[in-house]
Structure formats: C-alpha cells, structure tokens
Amino acid sequence: MSKNFNVNVEHVTRVEGHGNIVLNVEKGKIEKIQWQVPEAPRFFEAMLRGRQYTELRSITSRICGICSIGHSLASLKATENALDVNISEQTSLLRHLAINAENMQSHILHVGYLAAPDLFGVDSVIPLVGTDHTDALLKIIKLHRLSNKMSDLICGRTVHPIRLVVGGFSAVPTEKQLINLKKNLVDSIETTKNVAEVILSVADNIPDFTRETEYIGLSSEDEYAFYDGSITSTDTGVHSDNNDYKSIMNEFVVPQSTAKYAKHARDSYMVGALARFNLNSKQLHPLAKEIANMFGLKPISYNPFMNTISQVIEFVHNIEDSIKIIDQLVEAVIDDTEKPEKINADEGMGVGIVEVPRGILVHDYIIKDKKCLHANCIIPTNQNHANIQKDMEEFVPQIIDKSKKEIELNLEMLVRAYDPCISCSTHYLDVKFV
C-alpha cells in the first residue's frame, strides 16, 4: 500500500469550539498526525483579577455555555470552601438536581444532534426531518426540552444559571413545581428507552477500536459521583486529598494548541461519561444498568467511541436519580423562603471539584478581602486533548486502507466521541496575581 494523501479538517463540525485534524500520509507512511486546537484564548484570569467573591460564579459560568451550570457549581464550592460557608441539605439536594439537569441536556444534545448523524450516515439532523427517523428526532427534541425545562426551574435559566449563588439559591422551586417535574421525568422514561433502542439499531456503525488508557473521575461511597467525591483513577485508585489535584492533573503547553494538555500515570488519560462508567458503574440506578446491558457495555471499556453510549446510560441514571431527589425534597417539605448561608470568613483558599458532562472539573481560588487573588481551573476537555492525540496515532494505522473520505469521517467521529468542549479548554485560568 503506497498512497499519498493529506487530511486537513479545519474547524471540525458538530463540536463545541474550534479544533483541526491534520494528517499527512506519504507512500503509505504516516508523516504527521495532529489534533490542533486553534480556539482564541480568552484569558479568564484577567477577568477574575480583583473581582468580588459574589461575581466569580457569574464570570466563570461564561467559560462555557454548555457547561455553565457545572462551572457555576465548581466555582461556588471553591468560594464556599475558601470563605467557610456551610450549605443546607436542601441546597445540596437542589444542586444535585441542577447537575443532573445539565448532564441530561448536554448528553442528549451530543448523542442526538452531534454524534447520531454519523451513525445515520447524514451530515446533520436536518436531513432526518421528513424521513423514517422523524419520530426518533422528535423524541430526542422532547428529552432535550425536558432537560432544559428542568434547568430553567432549578437554576432560573439553562445557559448561565441565575439562581445558583454563594451559600445557596436566590430563589427555589415550589413543591407543586417539583411534583410536576417528577411527573414529566417519569413520563420521559419510556421515551428515553425508545431513543436508546434507536441508537442500538445503528450501533454497528460505532467503530470497534480500543486502546488501553487511564480513566480519571470522582468516586463516592454514597452514590454515582457527580456533585461530590474523591479524585479516582483506574490506574492508581482513590486519592483521598482533593486539594492535591495538581499531583494528578499535570498540565502542560504544546505549540499546536491554545488549550493545555494533561497527563498522570501514562502519556495521557481520559475523563467524561466513559471514565465515570468505568469507575462507578456498580452505583448506577437499575434502569441505567439495564441500558448498559442492552449495549453490552462493561467496565473497563477501552473503546473511546463508547463514551457516547455511556452518555445514554448516564442520561437514564440522571432521570432515576432526580426522581429520587424530588421525593426526598418533598418529603422533607421544601422551604421556599430559605435564604443563602452567610460567609464566615473574608479570606481563604478553596478547591471545588464536580463532575460535569465532559468529565472532572476543578476550580481553585485564593480570596483576600472578599476579592479573588488567584484562580486555577482544570477543564475536562483539556484533560482529554492528549488522549485524543494518542488515540489518533493508534487508530489511523488500523484504518489506513480505507478511502480518504472514510478516514476523515472516522477521525471526526473519534473527536466527536469525546464531545470536546473547546471554548472551555482555552479558558486559561492558571496564574498567580500579584
């Protein structure tokens, strides 16, 4: 096999943010494979410099529209840890609902609008309108709308939440609204199963590629971890001190990317739904386990394309989990007059870690006189860039005999499987302010 060709995908479509794929093959030999991130750097550190502690969650929310609830929550946890704020049980439960809602919204958007067109052999969902798949598309839209309505109810808005504030909530839903939400969640279970079946019917088009790597995420003894937990790796187990996150997430700069890369025990690691599944699948709720069995997914899966399937599984888990939380809230009688807890200190250091749709997210602040002095954020997609590169290096030789068009599509599909959030990853929040 001696062919020459170049693949040059500038700005991969159906992903959040800007990424390029560059592949040069000469006489059948791979000369260059590169995953590039040319996204404009946004310098969030300068935005936070000297800002009031109450503004940090609003500013960091703007790192990413899709993960804005997750950024707000990581920011609040870091701020509250720094300024010694203890949140109520009600706030904790409502924040669990908020994180479920965002995970559902982001996952169904990725599975339905961004990844599925490849499995159906179309360029976007638009050509599916009016075909046999219209019904499936309408069901996906229905689930997306439900997720957004849930975010609107809990957070006041789905993109850039309003009600999530330091110490609690600026407004909370009524019992009646929560009961109504529960009814809609229960009703959506059947729809979700239908969508999972449709994805299963085209699952043969998911490439059969595996590469052993390390998976990192939060884990907790209490639940399938999203809001709270300890940093955990499939290679090195549970790390008890979250404040020591830097010893695990080693970030570095590469010239082909305005986003940083990261590594731990190996050259690269992966975070996100597949990492969480690989670490915590035993704690999935029953129906989510059923969906995992339906797809034959078992931990540890080393196929990055199964990240999309893990998202389907987590979507179901988030629904089951939210129903359970609403029951708890209603049973405890929701207090809609509860005010946010006050800060007990004017300065301090705090780390906030949550799982967001694309993986583990860290915010780390130093606050003095109620103002931000230093900030550091570790973004999920940054942690995946090196793993995408390593996957490409191993994947391309396996598909080199396919047509150029197929190779290009396969590489795009690989990038999409990670559901990268590139705006997030070029946030740059890693400096000390003097």
Name which position in 121, 186, 190, 253 contacts other proteins (CB under 8 A): 253
205 forms part of the interface with other proteins (CB under 8 A) = no
188 forms part of the interface with other proteins (CB under 8 A) = no
338 forms part of the interface with other proteins (CB under 8 A) = no
What single DSSP character describes residue 52?
B
State in angstroms the smallest separation of the CB of 352 from other proteins.
19
Task: Point out which span in 73-81, 141-149, 202-210, 280-288 binds other proteins (CB under 8 A).
Answer: 141-149
What single DSSP character describes residue 340?
P
Question: Which residue, 197, 178, 180, 188, is CA-closest to 116?
Answer: 197
State in angstroms the smallest separation of the CB of 398 from other proteins.
23
DSSP string, 225-286: -SSS-EEEETTTEE-S-GGGGGGTSEEE--TTBSS-EEESSSS-EE-SHHHHHHHHGGGS-H
How far is CA 380 from each of CA 141, 244, 270, 281, rounded to the nearest angstrom? 26, 17, 9, 20
Place of tokens 């080393």: 302
Name which position in 21, 23, 114, 367 contacts other proteins (CB under 8 A): 114
Q: How many residues bind other proteins (CB under 8 A)?
A: 61
Name which position in 29, 31, 92, 171 contacts other proteins (CB under 8 A): 171
Instruction: Calculate the CA 221 to chain-centre distance.
Output: 21
Which sign, positive or negative, has the C-alpha torsion 419, 423, 424, 428?
A: positive
181 forms part of the interface with other proteins (CB under 8 A) = no
State in angstroms the smallest separation of the CB of 34 from other proteins.
13
State in angstroms the smallest separation of the CB of 261 from other proteins.
12
156 forms part of the interface with other proteins (CB under 8 A) = yes
Tokens of 291: 């969906």
State in angstroms the smallest separation of the CB of 268 from other proteins.
19
Place of tokens 């396996």: 398
138 forms part of the interface with other proteins (CB under 8 A) = yes
DSSP string, 310-332: HHHHHHHHHHHHHHHHHHHHHHT
Q: What region does 130 belong to: left with phi over 0, alpha with psi -120 to 50, or beta? A: left
Task: Point out which span in 167-175, 318-326, 342-350, 385-393 binds other proteins (CB under 8 A).
Answer: 167-175
Tokens of 47: 């935005």
Contact footprint for other proteins (CB under 8 A): 11, 13-17, 37-43, 45-47, 55, 58-59, 62-66, 68, 109, 113-114, 117, 123-126, 129, 138, 141, 144-145, 148, 156-160, 162-163, 165, 169-171, 253, 255-258, 423-424, 428, 430-431, 433
